[in-house]
């Protein structure tokens, strides 16, 4: 094979053969294709796209670049969820133990935050002693004994994606739907789950700003899952407003615990239960315990505690608290009609809750606490946000991000609650 011929072929709009795709992915993973050559191929794909056959084979080659997990002998079906990322998106935390309490096994491989979107592993690492890295053997044992695992993907899982992801980030090819879909689905298929529910975010705080692009991504990923034997469905969900009332690591863990205890913000509860029911249906567990009942009878909280302890964490330990706080108040009275998700995410990032580069450290206590969401009535001088930071010097840039982030209309202004669940894609 000649990588230059492959680049030229895709650049000129031709369909790549299965053999060409298999070779270029394997050779790049081994370091035999130069970074600049793969960069050129990614840019050609960005502009020309991949046919369904090409995309299926590209994804299969990425899966084949490493190991593929399997979980025989668990005595319960496996099901998982993936979110494309948003602000205040803590759903994995309550969702995983709830689904486990309803009889499924959830092998949840998660990631870290980058930029304005938070990462599940960062949130969980705010719990004293909890560790993200566990062996495949530990993962299987925990799924058998507890039914729930949230951990980092091992280095052996889809290593081609690890290299391609970093390259896409520095070559302005991140937004390509075929490349997004193959990146997400190669890891999820290699993970070994039998069923998968995708939460595809739409709006200003999401990577997919338009519903049309989100639908295209969802449809592409559902097709890939089905082609590789994973029962896959997707929900398009709104991300113009942050989820819940917190954006930050320990802040979001605390809010997740409120949900597991039977409280928590209504939008977090609504989305958690909707995804839990989809996950149970996708793996064939219908007619059993309902996710709402798992919260009410305490079994979901028991599952959470067991999951955290199994990975070395202390579920009773106090969560980190940032030493400095700054309150942002309403400048006028009226009804809140908009809270900009991207602005809140950027503010939390600037406070220290997120990172600009993968190697950056995060502050577990930093973040944004919201006191009003769209539909709420506020008075001039009442709190809109509380900012949490380890360093007071971070407040100014976070406040810059929040300038214009909230719209307050007259008390009698017409307002209707926007839908959180927008659309379902799949069987």
pLDDT at residue 415 above 80? Answer: yes
Considering the domain delimited by 3-49, tell me its CATH architecture.
Up-down Bundle (1.20)
Active site residue 161: yes
Q: pLDDT tens digit string along 378-394?
A: 999 999 999 999 999 99
Domain 3-49 shares a fold with domain 324-409: no
Residues 102-114 as b/e (b if ≥16 CB within 10 A, e otherwise) read bbbbbbbbbbbbb
pLDDT averaged over the chain? 95
Report pLDDT digits (tens) over 286-341. Answer: 888 999 999 999 999 999 999 999 999 999 999 999 999 999 999 999 999 999 99
CATH code of the domain made up of 324-409: 3.90.1170.30
Catalytic residue chosen out of the listed positions 22, 80, 89, 161: 161
355 is catalytic: no
Tell me, yes or no, if 290 is annotated catalytic: no
Return the pLDDT at 388: 98
Higher pLDDT, 282 or 113: 282
Q: Answer whether residue 113 shows pLDDT above 90.
A: no
Separation of alpha carbons 216 and 200, rounded Å: 10
Where residue 133 falls among pLDDT bands split at 50, 70, 90? very high
Assigned architecture for domain 80-310 = 3-Layer(aba) Sandwich (3.40)
CA dist., res. 266 & res. 317, Å (int):
26
- The catalytic residue among 9, 65, 183, 256 is 183
At 20-60, the pLDDT tens digits run 999 999 999 999 999 999 999 999 999 999 999 999 999 99
Q: Which of 123, 168, 201, 277 is labelled catalytic? A: 168
Q: In the prediction, which pLDDT does 384 show?
A: 98
Taking the C-alpha atoms of 26, 32, 36 and 37 in order, what is their torsion angle to the nearest 10 degrees?
Answer: -60
Residues in the chain: 427
Q: What percent of the chain has pLDDT over 70?
A: 100
Q: What are the boundaries of each domain within the chain?
A: 3-49, 80-310, 324-409
Selecting among 82, 162, 335, 350, the annotated active-site residue is 82
Residue 31 has a pLDDT of: 96
**Residue 416: what are its φ and ψ, rounded to 5°?**
-130, 140
Which position among 123, 187, 277, 373 bears the catalytic label? 187
Helix axes 18-30, 52-64, angle to 10 degrees: 40
């Amino acid at each position: 094979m000649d990588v230059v011929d492959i680049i030229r072929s895709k650049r000129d709009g031709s369909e790549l053969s299965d053999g060409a795709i298999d070779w270029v992915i394997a050779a790049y993973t081994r370091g035999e294709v130069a970074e600049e050559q793969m960069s050129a191929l990614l840019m050609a794909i960005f502009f020309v796209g991949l046919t369904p056959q090409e995309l299926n084979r590209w994804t299969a080659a990425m899966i084949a670049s490493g190991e593929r997990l399997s979980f025989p002998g668990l005595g319960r079906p496996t099901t998982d969820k993936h979110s494309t990322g948003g602000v205040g998106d803590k759903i994995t935390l309550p969702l995983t133990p709830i689904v486990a309490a309803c009889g499924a096994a959830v092998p949840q491989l998660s990631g870290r935050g980058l930029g304005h979107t938070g990462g599940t592993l960062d949130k969980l690492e705010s719990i004293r002693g909890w560790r993200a890295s566990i062996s495949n053997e530990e993962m299987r044992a925990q799924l058998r004994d507890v039914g729930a695992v949230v951990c980092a993907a091992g280095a052996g899982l889809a290593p081609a994606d690890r290299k391609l992801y970093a390259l896409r980030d520095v070559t302005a090819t991140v937004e390509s739907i075929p490349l997004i879909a193959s990146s997400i689905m190669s890891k999820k298929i290699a993970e070994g789950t039998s069923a998968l529910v995708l939460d595809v975010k739409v709006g200003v705080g999401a990577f997919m700003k338009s519903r049309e692009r989100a639908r295209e991504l969802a449809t592409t990923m559902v097709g890939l899952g089905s082609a590789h034997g994973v029962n896959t469905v997707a929900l398009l969900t709104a991300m113009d407003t942050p989820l819940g009332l917190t954006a930050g690591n320990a802040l979001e863990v605390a809010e997740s615990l409120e949900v597991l205890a039977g409280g928590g913000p209504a939008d977090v509860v609504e989305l958690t239960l909707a995804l839990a029911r989809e996950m149970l249906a996708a793996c064939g567990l219908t007619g059993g315990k309902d996710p709402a009942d798992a919260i009410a009878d305490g079994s979901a909280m028991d599952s959470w505690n067991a999951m955290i302890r199994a990975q070395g964490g202390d579920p009773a330990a106090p969560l980190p608290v940032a030493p400095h706080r700054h309150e942002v108040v309403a400048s006028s009275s009226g009804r809140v009609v908009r809270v900009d998700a991207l602005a809140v995410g950027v503010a939390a990032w600037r406070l220290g809750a997120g990172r600009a580069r993968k190697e950056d450290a995060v502050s577990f206590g930093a973040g944004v606490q919201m006191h009003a969401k769209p539909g709420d009535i506020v008075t001039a001088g009442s709190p809109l946000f509380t900012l949490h930071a380890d360093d007071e010097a971070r407040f100014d840039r976070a406040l810059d991000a929040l300038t214009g982030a909230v719209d307050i209309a007259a008390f009698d202004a017409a307002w209707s609650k926007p839908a959180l669940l927008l659309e379902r894609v799949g069987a």
